[in-house]
Amino acid sequence: MTEEDYKNGHVILIDKPLEWTSFQVVNKVRWLIKKEFNLKKIKVGHAGTLDPLATGLLILCTGKFTKKIETYQAQHKEYTGVITLGATTPSYDLETEIDETFDISAISEEKIHATTQQFVGDIQQQPPVFSALKKEGKRLYEFARAGEKVDIPTRSVHISTFEITNIDLPNVSFRVACSKGTYIRSLAHDFGKALQNGAHLSALRRTKIGDFSVEKAVSIEEFESQFKSPTS
Protein backbone atom coordinates (compact mmCIF):
# COMPACT_ATOMS: atom_id res chain seq x y z
CA MET A 1 0.00 0.00 0.00
CA THR A 2 1.18 3.51 -0.82
CA GLU A 3 0.53 6.84 0.85
CA GLU A 4 -1.93 7.71 -1.95
CA ASP A 5 -3.78 4.41 -1.44
CA TYR A 6 -4.50 5.30 2.19
CA LYS A 7 -5.47 8.89 1.32
CA ASN A 8 -7.73 7.90 -1.57
CA GLY A 9 -9.43 5.38 0.66
CA HIS A 10 -8.76 1.89 1.96
CA VAL A 11 -10.70 -0.63 4.06
CA ILE A 12 -8.71 -2.37 6.79
CA LEU A 13 -10.16 -5.40 8.57
CA ILE A 14 -8.77 -5.78 12.07
CA ASP A 15 -9.36 -8.66 14.47
CA LYS A 16 -9.70 -6.56 17.63
CA PRO A 17 -7.89 -8.02 20.63
CA LEU A 18 -9.47 -8.45 24.05
CA GLU A 19 -9.42 -5.37 26.32
CA TRP A 20 -8.60 -2.92 23.53
CA THR A 21 -11.17 -0.22 22.87
CA SER A 22 -12.19 0.38 19.27
CA PHE A 23 -10.78 3.91 19.65
CA GLN A 24 -7.39 2.51 20.68
CA VAL A 25 -7.31 0.37 17.53
CA VAL A 26 -8.09 3.40 15.35
CA ASN A 27 -5.38 5.44 17.11
CA LYS A 28 -2.79 2.67 16.69
CA VAL A 29 -3.52 2.20 12.98
CA ARG A 30 -3.54 5.95 12.34
CA TRP A 31 -0.20 6.31 14.16
CA LEU A 32 1.38 3.47 12.15
CA ILE A 33 0.28 4.97 8.82
CA LYS A 34 1.44 8.47 9.79
CA LYS A 35 4.79 7.14 10.96
CA GLU A 36 5.35 5.02 7.84
CA PHE A 37 4.69 7.86 5.38
CA ASN A 38 5.78 10.77 7.60
CA LEU A 39 2.29 12.31 7.48
CA LYS A 40 0.96 15.07 9.71
CA LYS A 41 -2.54 13.68 9.48
CA ILE A 42 -4.60 10.93 7.88
CA LYS A 43 -8.28 10.22 8.37
CA VAL A 44 -9.03 6.85 9.98
CA GLY A 45 -12.37 5.78 11.45
CA HIS A 46 -14.15 2.59 12.45
CA ALA A 47 -17.54 1.28 11.33
CA GLY A 48 -19.14 0.07 14.54
CA THR A 49 -17.81 -0.03 18.09
CA LEU A 50 -16.82 -3.25 19.82
CA ASP A 51 -16.76 -3.29 23.62
CA PRO A 52 -13.31 -3.73 25.22
CA LEU A 53 -14.33 -7.21 26.45
CA ALA A 54 -15.32 -8.29 22.93
CA THR A 55 -12.99 -9.49 20.17
CA GLY A 56 -13.38 -9.83 16.44
CA LEU A 57 -14.11 -7.89 13.31
CA LEU A 58 -13.53 -4.15 13.29
CA ILE A 59 -13.80 -2.36 9.94
CA LEU A 60 -11.47 0.62 9.61
CA CYS A 61 -11.73 3.13 6.77
CA THR A 62 -8.98 5.54 5.75
CA GLY A 63 -8.93 8.77 3.75
CA LYS A 64 -11.91 9.33 1.46
CA PHE A 65 -13.40 5.96 2.44
CA THR A 66 -14.34 7.40 5.86
CA LYS A 67 -17.43 8.66 4.02
CA LYS A 68 -18.50 5.01 3.67
CA ILE A 69 -18.51 4.34 7.42
CA GLU A 70 -22.25 4.88 7.87
CA THR A 71 -22.98 2.44 5.03
CA TYR A 72 -20.90 -0.28 6.69
CA GLN A 73 -22.38 0.48 10.13
CA ALA A 74 -25.89 -0.09 8.80
CA GLN A 75 -25.17 -3.64 7.65
CA HIS A 76 -26.22 -6.80 9.51
CA LYS A 77 -23.72 -8.25 11.94
CA GLU A 78 -22.96 -11.73 13.24
CA TYR A 79 -21.57 -12.68 16.63
CA THR A 80 -20.60 -15.77 18.57
CA GLY A 81 -20.24 -15.82 22.31
CA VAL A 82 -21.13 -17.26 25.70
CA ILE A 83 -24.05 -16.41 27.99
CA THR A 84 -23.54 -17.44 31.62
CA LEU A 85 -26.77 -18.34 33.41
CA GLY A 86 -27.47 -18.01 37.12
CA ALA A 87 -25.99 -14.57 37.73
CA THR A 88 -26.51 -10.95 36.67
CA THR A 89 -24.20 -7.94 36.57
CA PRO A 90 -25.11 -4.22 36.31
CA SER A 91 -23.27 -3.94 32.96
CA TYR A 92 -24.80 -7.21 31.66
CA ASP A 93 -21.24 -8.50 31.06
CA LEU A 94 -17.98 -9.00 32.98
CA GLU A 95 -17.13 -5.29 33.20
CA THR A 96 -18.87 -5.16 36.60
CA GLU A 97 -19.17 -7.60 39.49
CA ILE A 98 -22.02 -10.08 39.94
CA ASP A 99 -24.88 -8.44 41.85
CA GLU A 100 -27.39 -11.30 42.06
CA THR A 101 -27.28 -15.10 41.76
CA PHE A 102 -29.98 -17.63 40.85
CA ASP A 103 -30.56 -21.38 41.08
CA ILE A 104 -30.29 -22.89 37.58
CA SER A 105 -31.02 -26.51 38.54
CA ALA A 106 -34.50 -26.44 36.99
CA ILE A 107 -33.38 -25.10 33.60
CA SER A 108 -33.39 -27.79 30.92
CA GLU A 109 -31.59 -27.80 27.58
CA GLU A 110 -34.98 -28.00 25.87
CA LYS A 111 -36.13 -24.81 27.60
CA ILE A 112 -32.92 -23.01 26.64
CA HIS A 113 -33.37 -23.89 22.97
CA ALA A 114 -37.09 -23.05 22.99
CA THR A 115 -36.56 -19.66 24.67
CA THR A 116 -34.38 -18.39 21.82
CA GLN A 117 -37.50 -18.22 19.62
CA GLN A 118 -38.83 -15.33 21.73
CA PHE A 119 -35.96 -13.21 20.44
CA VAL A 120 -36.06 -13.95 16.70
CA GLY A 121 -37.58 -11.28 14.46
CA ASP A 122 -38.36 -7.65 15.33
CA ILE A 123 -38.03 -7.13 19.08
CA GLN A 124 -37.93 -4.24 21.53
CA GLN A 125 -34.64 -3.97 23.39
CA GLN A 126 -33.41 -1.67 26.13
CA PRO A 127 -29.72 -0.73 25.77
CA PRO A 128 -27.51 -1.33 28.84
CA VAL A 129 -27.01 1.61 31.18
CA PHE A 130 -23.28 0.83 30.92
CA SER A 131 -23.07 1.99 27.29
CA ALA A 132 -21.74 4.94 25.32
CA LEU A 133 -25.18 6.11 24.19
CA LYS A 134 -25.88 9.73 25.08
CA LYS A 135 -28.73 11.23 27.08
CA GLU A 136 -28.90 14.91 28.04
CA GLY A 137 -25.39 15.32 26.66
CA LYS A 138 -23.86 12.64 28.89
CA ARG A 139 -22.84 9.05 28.15
CA LEU A 140 -25.10 6.52 29.85
CA TYR A 141 -22.13 4.90 31.58
CA GLU A 142 -21.40 8.26 33.26
CA PHE A 143 -24.82 8.12 34.94
CA ALA A 144 -24.24 4.47 35.86
CA ARG A 145 -20.82 5.04 37.39
CA ALA A 146 -22.18 7.97 39.41
CA GLY A 147 -24.93 5.74 40.75
CA GLU A 148 -27.63 7.87 39.10
CA LYS A 149 -30.78 6.23 37.77
CA VAL A 150 -31.77 7.09 34.22
CA ASP A 151 -34.71 6.10 32.05
CA ILE A 152 -33.55 4.43 28.85
CA PRO A 153 -36.14 4.07 26.09
CA THR A 154 -36.41 0.76 24.30
CA ARG A 155 -35.51 0.51 20.62
CA SER A 156 -36.64 -1.76 17.84
CA VAL A 157 -33.98 -4.18 16.56
CA HIS A 158 -34.10 -7.23 14.31
CA ILE A 159 -32.57 -10.60 15.13
CA SER A 160 -32.58 -12.98 12.18
CA THR A 161 -30.71 -15.85 13.88
CA PHE A 162 -30.32 -16.83 17.53
CA GLU A 163 -28.77 -20.28 17.62
CA ILE A 164 -27.52 -22.22 20.65
CA THR A 165 -24.31 -23.99 19.61
CA ASN A 166 -23.32 -25.64 22.91
CA ILE A 167 -24.64 -26.02 26.45
CA ASP A 168 -22.28 -26.64 29.35
CA LEU A 169 -24.17 -25.11 32.25
CA PRO A 170 -23.93 -22.47 33.47
CA ASN A 171 -22.42 -21.53 30.10
CA VAL A 172 -24.46 -21.40 26.91
CA SER A 173 -22.62 -20.81 23.61
CA PHE A 174 -24.51 -19.06 20.81
CA ARG A 175 -24.46 -17.49 17.35
CA VAL A 176 -26.51 -14.38 16.60
CA ALA A 177 -27.18 -12.49 13.35
CA CYS A 178 -28.76 -9.11 13.95
CA SER A 179 -29.37 -5.55 12.80
CA LYS A 180 -27.43 -2.41 13.58
CA GLY A 181 -28.04 -1.18 17.11
CA THR A 182 -28.52 -4.59 18.71
CA TYR A 183 -26.83 -4.99 22.09
CA ILE A 184 -25.78 -8.59 22.65
CA ARG A 185 -25.29 -7.78 26.34
CA SER A 186 -28.97 -6.79 26.56
CA LEU A 187 -29.92 -9.95 24.68
CA ALA A 188 -28.05 -12.03 27.28
CA HIS A 189 -29.73 -10.17 30.14
CA ASP A 190 -33.20 -10.51 28.60
CA PHE A 191 -32.57 -14.18 27.81
CA GLY A 192 -31.95 -14.80 31.51
CA LYS A 193 -35.20 -13.01 32.38
CA ALA A 194 -37.13 -15.06 29.82
CA LEU A 195 -35.83 -18.19 31.54
CA GLN A 196 -37.15 -16.73 34.83
CA ASN A 197 -33.56 -16.64 35.97
CA GLY A 198 -30.57 -14.36 35.50
CA ALA A 199 -27.76 -14.19 32.93
CA HIS A 200 -24.87 -12.11 31.71
CA LEU A 201 -22.58 -12.08 28.69
CA SER A 202 -19.23 -13.68 29.47
CA ALA A 203 -17.63 -13.78 25.99
CA LEU A 204 -18.33 -12.09 22.66
CA ARG A 205 -16.73 -12.21 19.22
CA ARG A 206 -17.95 -10.36 16.12
CA THR A 207 -17.52 -12.61 13.12
CA LYS A 208 -19.22 -10.69 10.29
CA ILE A 209 -20.36 -7.25 9.16
CA GLY A 210 -22.31 -7.50 5.91
CA ASP A 211 -20.07 -9.40 3.48
CA PHE A 212 -16.93 -8.76 5.55
CA SER A 213 -15.69 -11.68 7.66
CA VAL A 214 -13.24 -11.86 10.55
CA GLU A 215 -11.54 -14.69 8.64
CA LYS A 216 -10.13 -11.99 6.33
CA ALA A 217 -9.06 -9.74 9.19
CA VAL A 218 -5.54 -9.30 10.54
CA SER A 219 -4.31 -8.77 14.07
CA ILE A 220 -2.79 -5.46 15.17
CA GLU A 221 0.62 -7.15 15.13
CA GLU A 222 0.13 -8.44 11.59
CA PHE A 223 -0.93 -5.01 10.39
CA GLU A 224 2.09 -3.42 12.06
CA SER A 225 4.49 -5.99 10.59
CA GLN A 226 3.74 -4.89 7.03
CA PHE A 227 5.36 -1.54 7.80
CA LYS A 228 8.55 -2.98 9.24
CA SER A 229 11.54 -2.99 6.93
CA PRO A 230 12.94 -6.48 6.26
CA THR A 231 16.16 -7.15 8.08
CA SER A 232 19.25 -7.42 5.94
Q: In this predicted model, what pLDDT tens digit does every residue of 46-105 receive, in sequence order?
A: 998 898 999 999 999 999 999 999 999 999 999 999 999 999 999 999 999 999 999 999
Q: How many domains does the chain have?
A: 2
CA 105 to chain CA centroid, nearest Å? 30
CA 191 to chain CA centroid, nearest Å? 18
Q: Are residues 164 and 109 in the same domain?
A: yes
DSSP 147: T
Per the domain annotation, does 232 fall within a domain? no
The three-state secondary structure class of 63 is helix
Q: Which residue stretches of the chain have pLDDT < 70?
A: 130-148, 228-232
Q: Are residues 199 and 216 in the same domain?
A: no
Quote the pLDDT of residue 146. Answer: 63
Q: Indicate the pTM of the whole model.
A: 0.91
Decide if 51 is catalytic: yes
Residues spanned by the domain of 11 = 3-74+212-225
Which residues are within 8 A (CB) of 18 and not within 5 positions of it... i.e. 6 or more apart?
52, 53, 54, 55
Q: Are residues 92 and 53 in the same domain?
A: no
Q: Are residues 115 and 217 in the same domain?
A: no
Quote the pLDDT of residue 232. Answer: 35
* Biggest CA-to-CA distance, the chain: 65
The three-state secondary structure class of 146 is coil
User: Residue 123: how many CB atoms within 10 A of its CB?
Assistant: 19
Q: Are residues 48 and 158 in the same domain?
A: no
b/e burial code for range 133-149 (CB count within 10 A of at least 16 → b): eeeeeeebbebbeeeee
- Select which of 5, 15, 51, 168 is catalytic: 51
Burial of 204 (0-12, 13-18, 19+ CB in 10 A): buried
